[in-house]
Amino acid sequence: MNQLVNSSRKIVCDGNEAAARAVVLARPDVVSVFPITPQSSLVESLSQFVADGVLTAELINAEGEHSVLSALQGACLAGARTYTATSGPGLAFMFEPYIRTPGLRLPMVVSLVTRDMLSPQCVWGGQQDAMTVRECGWIQVYCENVQEVLDTVIMAFKLAEHKDVLLPVNVCHDGNYLSYAVSRIELPAAEMVDGFLGEPDVNWHIALDPDRPMAVDPLTGGTGPGGAASFVGYRKSQVRGMANALEVFSDIHVEWGERFGRHWAPLVEEYRLEDADYAIVTIGSMTGAGKDAVDAARERGEKVGLIKVKTYRPFPRDAIIAALGKVKAAGIVDRSVSFAWDCGPLHQDVMTTLFASPHRLALVGFIGGLAGADITSEHFQRVIELTAQAARGDVSASPIWLNEHD
Amino acid sequence: MSNEIRLHGRGGQGTVMAAGILAQALAEEDKWAIAIPTFGFERRGAPVSAFLRVDDKPIRSLTNIYHPDIIVCIDQTLGRAVNIFAGMADGATLVLAGRKPASEMNLPASARRLGLVDAVSIAMELFGRPITNSVMLGALARTTGIVSLAALCRAMEESHFRDAGLAQNLTAIRRGYDETQVSTLKESCHAHA
């Protein structure tokens, strides 16, 4: 079908460089950056690519993350394809324009190189930053490995710009374990990515255009005539765009698989789940060690599978219900906490989702990998044992803090 | 075949960069490798380490390494600051920078193979500074055979080094390879705590 199919090349890089290379392939018009650990090497790579002429985007080194996203909002309104990346405190400083971006229906792609939130003071990975903004209206997807970072950043532009979605996307990759993990990956050919993404088409609904002057984001709502109705109209369409993202992203993954030969599960991956009695649920870079632990347990005769959540916002309710419908118990491993619920955010979402299903199963919640801590095969061994125990009716009290004694 | 390698050094010596170049060299030989550095507030002189897992098939686990079967230490004074042998697998291979003979090095009893090179002297001659990472990559290739000298040199050529810097580092790899003394460890070399 395609003569360029073999023109990808093998490279060795870490997750931050993979994201930067994906950005080069997506050919954005404007990139604005401010460095912050553990994202810094990503924007250093972007700056190098611009300096080398590999990336022809306008690069704005802003004085802080608030300005970074404000500049990109203007660029996006003017019709530019835009990108930035941030992390932890940088995301916090970005919050005011951040929360406004989905309502403006701006199709940006922003990598979150996830980091645990201060305080206690730390500079290491954890998903608390991304999880803190899980209800802001951005699409959020989490990557398992360096190749998935590269592929997903490219796919995210297609998702964000899709007319049935038109929302900003956070592609999350774990600080430390993905940001700095050097791996061998396939770099697709630029022409192939051009064919996949097509021409940028981001300014058809609102635009800063002197020839077509229009008011952007006028005062809406209140109790005046039509105010409530117009606000509800905007909100409803935003919520609908979010819901549409599940199907659109699934279609995009199918097309990616056809064009590039890598078939990622778009929403939820089911691993060795078909004949499983129970499952562990993972998100992000912990998943690889989880799969290895599942394989080891299978060799011992344990009927265990794994459910990996890739798309987290919108939450893939049907896919989660379908996956959990196959098992009697699930052990959910979060890399962050939900302060309101004394459990992990993923655990909370799974509980909420199950209310819509007649199927009941035992859940055990685990929290691990905070502030750069490792989630090893030994930790997963414990997760598997306690989940097996829950499947037999003996359910441990949650949450279980995996690194409590490390 | 798979190995779990832990590299030790001090901030500024290029430990993490060495792990990255090694991963590139292993990929050149069509192997799969994952290199993960330990992290902190980077400071020149502070102990740092990096983990590298290598296999003939794709690697899924993105975790640190706790029981290395190969330990590389690119700084000859680091053993006074951290236990570079912590968690070492039985029968491990050690690749160490140092001037002292093995019999004076207080090595763990279960290590079985040693590559020893006076990396600081080579680095001082080549760079005028004790930057020993490239020398120790050559020493690793010589001691373990997990990667070829040619692949290491190709990986170095793929790195950010250019011109004189590249030539110096290629020489450092070759001299590390040539000047490493490889020995099978005998009981007399071992500490009896």
- Beta carbons of A183 and B23 less than 8 Å apart: yes
Residue located via tokens 């061994």: A381
The class of domain A268-401 in CATH terms is: alpha beta
Contacts of A269 in chain B (CB under 8 A): none
* Closest CB from B20, B24, B62 relative to A289: B62
How do the domains of chain A map onto residue ranges? 9-205+240-260, 268-401
Residue A99 predicted with pLDDT over 50: yes
Scanning every residue of chain A, which has its alpha carbon at the shortest distance from the alpha carbon of B58? A184
Q: Which amino acid is at B102?
A: A
Nearest 5°: phi and psi at A219?
Answer: -60, 130
Please state, in angstroms and rounded to a whole number, the distance separating the CA atoms of residues A268 and A264.
9
Share of chain A above pLDDT 70, in %: 98
A226-254: b or e for each residue (b if 16 or more CB lie within 10 Å)? eeeebeeeeeeebeebbebbbebbeebbe
Within 8 A of B56 by CB-CB distance, chain A residues are none
SS3 A286: helix
pLDDT tens per residue across span B38-52: 866 667 888 999 999
Where along chain B do its domains lie? 2-185
- According to the model, what pLDDT value does residue B193 have? 38
Give me the pLDDT at residue B43, please: 78
Binary contact (A123, B40; C-beta < 8 A): yes
Which of the two residues, A387 and A203, has the higher pLDDT score?
Answer: A387
Query: Any chain B CB within 8 A of the CB of A292?
Result: yes
**Nearest CB to B61 within list A14, A180, A288:** A288
Higher pLDDT, A162 or A202: A162
Average pLDDT over residues B27-47: 87
CATH number, span B2-185: 3.40.920.10
- A–B CB contacts, 8 A cutoff, strictly below: 65
pLDDT value at A4 more than 80: no
Residues of B in contact with A292 (CB under 8 A): 60-61
* pLDDT tens per residue, range A10-60: 999 999 999 999 999 999 999 999 999 999 999 999 999 999 999 999 999
Pair A23, A197: CB distance under 8 Å: no
Over range A56-83, report the average pLDDT. 96
- What's this model's pTM, rounded to 2 decimal places? 0.96
| Architecture of the domain defined by A9-205+240-260 | 3-Layer(aba) Sandwich (3.40)
Best residue in B5, B17, B54, B63 to probe A by mutation, most A CBs within 10 Å? B63
ipTM of the complex: 0.93
